[in-house]
Structure 1
Amino acid sequence: MTVWRDVVGQDETVATLSAAAADPAQMTHAWLLTGPPGSGRSTAARAFAAALLCPDHGCGDCHECRTAKDGSHADVTVVATEGLSIQVKDARELARVAQHRPSVGAWRIIIIEDADRLTERAADALLKALEEPVPRTVWLLCAPSLEDVIVTIRSRSRHVRLRTPPADAVAELLVRRDDVDPAMAAYAARAAQSHVGLARRLARDEGARIRRRDTLQLAGRIGSLGDAMEAAADLASIATEESTASSAERDAAEKQRLLEQLGADPAARTQPPHIRSQVSALEKEQKTRATRFGRDVVDRSLVDLLSLYRDALVVQAGTPVELVNVDQTELLATLARSFSAEQLLACMTAIGTARERIEANVPPLLALEAMTISLRLPQRR
């Protein structure tokens, strides 16, 4: 067993990082790990951190390996924002932490799992730390692509690119690590398009599988303008329900814990001003987190829809290519029969445009309505 066991389908990346962990001559002070969503960027970063701190360069069993991978090691700082962006105050704190010598290990390691979410001012606040590196401090930055990170940061980092892992490798990981039934693991890996995190969720959460099925079924019901508006509202509603289900219990627990830490009575109808201000700050943070999560849920739904129209195009062309949605044969046949190849491509373009608009802060419902109008079945117009 090694720390690289869960970094699936990334042989070149593992070879590069493990060689650097074992040979100081191959090390540098900043690494930029890029790859598509679900490729395992943060998993690779944590494994690399463990390999750097492990006396055996990543055995996977020692205290250093275990604590580095779970983020509890004293010399490992992990930034995994749940908000829309990483603010300048957070970046300044990281730059301050980077100046400290390692406390127990050979390196002080700072992992930023969402470097693409650094605001421009936050990125500028990190530049000095990257331009004037401190000995024994290593930065591990993760982002979807080079273009998602400002040029001044990526020019000061060594780039390592991850690829989308094969579906069978993801399925094997689910079986081995999460004890998922092999048939379910194969379905989840294929449906998630090799996104490791989503595959795990689909395999273990029946509600997530039902919501995905409902999202795909919408495509066969968009005939009129009214159907398009209803489908957009349904997509937004699915995202809201999933966001609420995911955050309600955690939000309540966080508020309860904060009140206990402040010595306040959770049952009191009113609280002193200093407690109200901290509760208000927490609620604001939770709202930001919910906004991001809701957008992420919508984006996942759109990726699922995109795979559906892609499959319909494959079916129509009769190409011997593996389908993502093999359990939706009837719906795929309907779409392949109803649309021409050019119209299927136009549908895929409309979905891609909706994703870009939502990423650019267009209200999701408006972007979804514009998209679903373009997805209407031709013969029912």
Structure 2
Amino acid sequence: MSLWEGLTGQAEAIAILQAAASSSALGSTEVSSMTHSWLITGPPGSGRSNIAYAFAAALLGTRGDETEESVYKQVIARTHPDLGVLSTEAVSFAIVDVRKLVASSYYSPSVGHYRVMIIEDADRMAERTSNVLLKALEEPPPRTVWILCAPSEADLIPTIRSRVRSVRLRTPAIEDVAQLLQDRDGVAPDIALRAAREAQSHIGMAHRLATNSDARERRERTLTTALEIRSVSDAVIAAATLLELSQGDAKALTEDRDDKERESTLRSLGVEPGGTIPPGLRVQIKNLEEDQKRRAKRSLRDGIDRIMVDLLSLYRDILLTQIGAPGELINLSILNNINSVAARTTPVATLAIMDGIAEARRRIESNVSPALAMEAMLVKVAVSGRGA
């Protein structure tokens, strides 16, 4: 099994990382392609984390008797003794977690040549938290490699950017993502192509749309709800509908996992399903519930943002139709509706709506109430779009 299998459309980035891993295996201090800190950037769904783990496996497999496949399995399972991983399902990282990872980065490798530390979503570090990491990047141990993942270099503070080597991923082609869904998940070609197009090449979302009918239905309802807005009162009702859809999407992603986590925790504590939790063990359950609440909050925000992205794709299609610009439409399944709205509205109105959606995303990111932000956004749809 290749470490880099399934990393669709990232040949240039893979070549850079393969060369670095190969040069590190030579043990030569004269080879300049390897460095102690890396930043992997790319748009959502481009595979930042996947390529980070593949690179980690390549580095950890440069010495020792383990096969490349064995090391990769350990890395993916996060059980390799020389691998440290920090990820969060909350809105931001806790500074104490970053401090723990930094402290562990000073341990010597136990079985390999390197100790590899991965931070997923490094853009979720506040400035104070980033400064904790900065000290480790300024004076790194000789055999520790840091791999950070973020959407762009601008998402990290300048002092960290100046101490990492950046590798940029590109948005995979729709055809490449569709082919991946067919080969990896056994999805029919027509469904795979539609999912890849509507997900705008986001591999994870394309997989979900291709394999989950509820996800496809929620997306269709999102677009239909926006197209049916005719007045300000419609906009207020539509905002409530879209918020309900995002809550349903978030619940679908977290509910089953939460139940399994609770069951597993109770089992590990020796409590039978449905049994009474002893007072001395309730703090563990409370901590688990707090973690799940933080994850649910992030999942809801991610679900709302997915709705915004889908709406942007809708009005992008309407604008392209209005101005006759070249380019394939994303939402071909509702082409008649797109043509109808494009005919009765103007490009200026469509651009105003798109600006309103972008503004709503910024407001929600700044902790404005999602309900208020969505209402303001959809009122602009009613006013600017005049029925769009």
Q: How does 1:102-251 map to 2 (within 5 A)?
A: 102-251=109-258
Range with bigger deviation, 59-68 or 346-355? 59-68
- Aligned-residue Cα RMSD (Å) equals 2.0
Q: Distance in 2 between matches of 1:246 and 1:62?
A: 30
Range with bigger deviation, 48-57 or 308-317? 48-57
Aligned partners of 2:58 and 2:68 also within 8 Å? no
Match of 1:299, SS state, is: helix
Q: Distance in 2 between matches of 1:187 and 1:21?
A: 37
Structure 2 stretches lacking a partner, 5+ long = 25-30
Q: What's the counterpart of residue 13 of structure 1?
A: 13
Deviations 1:287-333 (A, max 9, x none): 11101000101101110110000001111122231111111112211
Match of 1:41 among 23, 48, 54: 48
Runs of 4+ in 1 over 6 A off after TM superposition: none
Q: How does 1:290-305 map to 2 (within 5 A)?
A: 290-305=296-311
Q: Distance in 1 between matches of 2:275 and 2:2?
A: 51
Aligned partners of 1:2 and 1:60 also within 8 Å? no
Match of 2:166, SS state, is: strand
Q: What's the counterpart of residue 282 of structure 2?
A: 276
Q: Does 1:255 align with 2:251?
A: no
Q: Distance in 2 between matches of 1:2 and 1:335?
A: 48
Range with bigger deviation, 159-168 or 254-263? 254-263
Instruction: Using structure 2 for the length normalisation, give the TM-score.
Output: 0.93
Match of 2:333, SS state, is: coil
Match of 2:95 among 56, 67, 88: 88
Deviation of 1:380 after TM superposition, in Å, equals 4.7
Q: Does 1:329 align with 2:335?
A: yes
Deviations 1:7-34 (A, max 9, x none): 2112221111111111132111110111
Match of 1:376, SS state, is: helix
Q: Distance in 2 between matches of 1:18 and 1:257?
A: 38
Deviation of 1:65 after TM superposition, in Å, equals 2.6
Aligned partners of 1:255 and 1:282 also within 8 Å? yes
Q: Distance in 1 between matches of 2:148 and 2:161?
A: 9
Range with bigger deviation, 186-195 or 67-76? 67-76
Match of 1:223, SS state, is: coil
Aligned partners of 1:309 and 1:335 also within 8 Å? no
- Over 3 Å counting, the alpha-carbon distance change for 1:87 and 1:151 in structure 2 is same
User: What is the percent sequence identity of the aligned residues?
Assistant: 47
Deviation of 1:70 after TM superposition, in Å, equals 4.1
Deviation of 1:187 after TM superposition, in Å, equals 0.8
Q: Distance in 2 between matches of 1:147 and 1:64?
A: 33
Instruction: Using structure 1 for the length normalisation, give the TM-score.
Output: 0.94
- Over 3 Å counting, the alpha-carbon distance change for 1:185 and 1:146 in structure 2 is same
Deviations 1:21-80 (A, max 9, x none): 1113211111011111111111111111122123499x9962113322443322222222
Q: Distance in 2 between matches of 1:315 and 1:221?
A: 19
Deviations 1:102-140 (A, max 9, x none): 121221111111101112222122122111111221110
Q: Distance in 2 between matches of 1:310 and 1:28?
A: 41
Q: What's the counterpart of residue 317 of structure 1?
A: 323
Deviation of 1:263 after TM superposition, in Å, equals 3.1
Q: Distance in 1 between matches of 2:63 and 2:3?
A: 11
Aligned partners of 1:90 and 1:122 also within 8 Å? no
Aligned partners of 1:83 and 1:288 also within 8 Å? yes
Match of 2:90, SS state, is: coil
Aligned partners of 1:75 and 1:108 also within 8 Å? yes
Q: How does 1:365-376 map to 2 (within 5 A)?
A: 365-376=371-382
Q: Distance in 2 between matches of 1:200 and 1:152?
A: 36
Q: Does 1:346 align with 2:355?
A: no
- Over 3 Å counting, the alpha-carbon distance change for 1:64 and 1:269 in structure 2 is closer
Structure 1 stretches lacking a partner, 5+ long = none
- Over 3 Å counting, the alpha-carbon distance change for 1:171 and 1:60 in structure 2 is farther
Deviation of 1:98 after TM superposition, in Å, equals 0.3
Q: Distance in 1 between matches of 2:124 and 2:370?
A: 19
Q: Distance in 2 between matches of 1:172 and 1:253?
A: 32
